[in-house]
Each structure stands twice: as C-alpha cells, then as structure tokens.
C-alpha cells in the first residue's frame, strides 16, 4: 500500500512503476474512484449530522409537529442509506485496487522484464577452484547424500509426494548445525531471535504484501482461515501490527527461525530432482523496522546483506550478488538484491538468499508507526516505519553447494570448520 497523496501528486511515476514491474492496474480508474469517494463523503457527513440533530429534537416535540419530524427523519434516513450504498460501491474497488499498487523502485534498480535481466554486481570466491576433486569425478548432492545415508527421496515421495525429502543421520545434523551457527552469528550481533507462528491469517499475509496477487498461489491454505507461512517475514514483520513505537527504540533487528512451506506453483517440471526446489524448508530470516529515512534504511540493507555474506564466507562458498530488475522484484519492493551460491552439479550459481527494502509499503498495510521526536524529545509527528528483510540462511537448498564443494575423492564429505562445534567436533561424514 502506498501514500495516496503521493499517487495523486505523481500518477505517471506509479504508471511507470506498474509497467516496469509487469503489474496490471488502471491507475486512472483508481484516481477516478478516489475523486468519486471524496465527492461523496461530505454529503454523507452532512446527512448524518442532520439525522443526529433530528434524533435529538424529536423527543422534545409532540403531536403533529413530532409526526412531521418523524417523516422527515425517515426521508433523511433513506437518503443517507442510499449515499452510504453508493459509497460502498465505490470504496470496495477503491480498496482492492490500492492493494495492487506498486512501490516506486529506486533509480538504481535496473529496468528489465524478468530474472534474465538481473545484473551481477559482485563476486566472492572462485568457482573454478572450489571443488576438492576433479570436476569429471565429482558427484552431485543426490548421489552423495544417498551414498552416505543423509538423504532419502524415494521414501519421502511415498509419504509427502513430489519435491519431498528426508534428511537423516548426519544430513539432519548438518542442517541443524547451519541453523544454530547462523542464529548464534546474529545473536552475537545483538539481534533478537524469534521462533514465530508457522500459520498466519489473511491480514498478516496482506499486510506483508503477499496477498492479493500471484504470491498467493504459492501459499498453502488451511480450512480455518489460516495459511502456512512461506517465510517468517510474514509473522515476524506482523509482530508490531497496529502499534506505535518510540523513535529511540528503532531500528528493530529481528531474526525469525522457522519451517517454511511453498507450493511452488508455476514451477512444474523445473528442478524436480534433489533439494533445489522443495515444498518445505527451514530458514533464518532477518527483519528490520527502522525510521522513515531512506539513507538509514539503505545502511540497514547493507548490514543485513553483510550478515548473510559473512555466513557464506565462513562456509567458504563462492557466491555472487545481483541487483534484481524491476520485472523480478515484486510490487512492494523498492530495492532488492539476491545472493546466488555456486552449485557445481548445476554448473552455475543458484539463488540462496534474498535481500529487500520495502520503504513504508508493509508498514502502511500493517499500520506500524513510530513517534518522531522533536529537539526537546517530545513527540512531534507519527510516521510509518520502513521495513527490510533478508534470508540469512535457508536449507536444504544451501546443502547443495556444501555437500558438493566439500566432497572428497573417497565419497566422504568434509564438515565445514565453523559447523564442527555444532556436530560434536565431527570433521568428516563418511560411511
């Protein structure tokens, strides 16, 4: 959701944002509804005022005078109901269309139609020297995992269908080590850790921008008005819904650890084997609430992306950073970068992390504000916070580069040094 005053002031900028983000919305039609709504409201308020005055007057009257006023009151009531019905017919599409309005991307965001036009801006590590075995002798994570009894896809398919998996033995321990290492990494920096709800209502998904829209197709719906989260961003960001925070308490640095669930609608036939595209995974998500200051927000963006980079560097996994183009970033984001990690079996980088700045898009939907203080410390205004989020680690996808890059010639896997304390000092996974 965006500031309607800003939309009225520069509609062409929002038209361009919608076009660049591949979002279909008739902004002129929305502005027409907005004008109609504004024109109706004074008449409704006047009719309500007259009705209230009549309600106060009638008890003081008697006889014919009272009957006459009752007739007038009935007529005014019918007039008010007609105006309110007209307003409702205008407000319903007015509200629905607002939910589809895009944020305006920063000027530095590349304009492009889809992920093929994302732009690489940084690389760390050398994929050509990452493997510990000759490339022609390297096994993929599926073969490695099954040989070492870390993965079982066949049994998982009989239980959970396609894109299901069992992590077992050292595979399960390796994933838990990753999660614990990442949470300890963030905790050491002062981040507040969350184990948030795995289910959320429509309002939380709408508030974080996932509903309505194409993202809704990837969410599992339950029978009682709740939905399984595809990221803890939904429930952690909603933590302060309808609250007014203090400026001195910002920024809020939160990290949510949770299981996540995605239907992967629209990905039929893509990455059907292995751990790359699955329906269930675990993730540590960073969520930031900060002041409505773009410069400060972009500093927070660098901080949360750096936190994720530090995890990858500690794991010694080659990766690259890309600026996500307008057609791939979604309606609420004003700036977005992905981190892609080198995956030998794919012969390419694969997306493992995402980092987003959304301005006040989510805060307006969730009604999260803060009191801005004046020179004397007294509150002078209430403003919407700005929000950011970042994947600090997500598994099992990240197990692909770990298992493949750390494989040895004998089929064993060396445990990354930073994870060994979380696996009882284990140095190597072997038969």
* Cα 102 to Cα 49, 180, 288, distances in angstroms: 38, 36, 20
Query: Catalytic residue among 84, 117, 310, 351, which?
Result: 351
Neighbours of 188 (CB within 10 A): 8
Helices (H) and strands (E) in the chain, counts: 12, 17
Which residues touch 304 (CB under 8 Å, ≥6 apart)?
286, 288, 355, 388, 389, 390, 392
Alpha-helical regions (H) of 198-269: 202-207, 233-237
Tell me if residue 128 is catalytic. no
Mode of pairing for the β-strands spanning 319-323 and 335-343: antiparallel
Q: What is residue 407's DSSP assignment?
A: B
Is 233 among the residues known to form the active site? no
Q: Which residues contact 71 (CB under 8 A, 6 or more apart)?
A: none
Identify the active-site residue in 163, 253, 262, 305: 262
397 classed as catalytic: yes
**Known catalytic residue at 86:** no
Contact 35, 19 (CB under 8 A): no
Which of the residues 103, 258, 354, 395 is marked catalytic?
354
Compute CA 384 distance to the chain's CA centroid, rounded to the nearest angstrom.
17
Q: Which residue has the tokens 């794991």?
A: 315
Query: Is-catalytic flag, 369?
Result: no
Beta bridge partners of 261: 280
Q: Which of 132, 180, 277, 346 is catalytic?
A: 277
As annotated, the active-site residues are 262, 277, 351, 354, 397
């Amino acid at each position: 959701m965006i500031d309607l005053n800003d939309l009225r002031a520069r509609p062409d900028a929002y038209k361009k944002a919608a076009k660049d983000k591949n979002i279909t919305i008739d902004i002129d039609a929305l502005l027409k509804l907005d004008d109609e709504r504004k024109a109706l409201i004074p008449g409704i308020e006047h009719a309500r005022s007259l009705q209230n005055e009549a309600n106060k007057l009638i008890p003081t009257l008697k006889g014919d005078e009272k009957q006459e006023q009752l007739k007038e009151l009935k007529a005014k009531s019918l007039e008010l109901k007609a105006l309110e019905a007209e307003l409702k017919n205008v407000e319903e599409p007015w509200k629905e269309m607002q939910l589809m309005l895009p944020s305006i991307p920063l000027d530095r965001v590349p304009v492009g139609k889809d992920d093929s036009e994302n732009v690489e801006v940084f690389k760390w590590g050398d994929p050509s020297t990452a493997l510990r075995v000759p490339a022609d002798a390297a096994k993929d994570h599926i073969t490695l995992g099954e040989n070492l009894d870390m993965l079982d896809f066949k049994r998982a398919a009989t239980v959970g269908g396609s894109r299901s998996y069992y992590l077992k033995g050292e595979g399960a321990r390796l994933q838990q080590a990753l999660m614990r290492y990442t949470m300890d990494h963030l905790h050491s920096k002062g981040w507040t850790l969350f184990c948030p709800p795995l289910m959320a209502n429509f309002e939380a998904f709408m508030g974080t921008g996932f509903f309505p829209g194409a993202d809704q197709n990837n969410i599992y719906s339950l029978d009682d008005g709740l939905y399984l989260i595809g990221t803890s961003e939904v429930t952690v960001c909603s933590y302060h819904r309808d609250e007014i925070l203090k400026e001195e308490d910002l920024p809020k640095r939160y990290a949510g650890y949770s299981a996540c669930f995605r239907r992967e609608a629209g990905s039929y036939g893509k990455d059907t084997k292995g751990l790359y595209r699955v329906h269930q995974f675990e993730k540590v998500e960073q969520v930031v609430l900060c002041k409505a200051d773009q410069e400060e927000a972009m500093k927070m963006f660098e901080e949360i992306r750096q936190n994720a980079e530090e995890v990858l560097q500690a794991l010694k996994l080659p990766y690259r950073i890309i600026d996500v183009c307008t057609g791939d970033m979604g309606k609420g984001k004003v700036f977005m970068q992905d981190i892609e990690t080198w995956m030998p079996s794919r012969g390419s980088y694969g997306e493992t992390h995402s980092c987003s700045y959304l301005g006040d898009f989510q805060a307006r939907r969730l009604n999260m504000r803060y009191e801005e203080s004046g020179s004397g410390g007294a509150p002078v205004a209430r403003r919407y916070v700005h929000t950011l989020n970042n994947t600090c680690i997500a598994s099992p996808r990240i197990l692909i580069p770990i298992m493949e890059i750390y494989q040895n010639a004998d089929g064993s896997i060396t445990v990354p040094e930073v994870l060994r304390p979380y696996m009882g000092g284990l140095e190597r996974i072997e038969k």
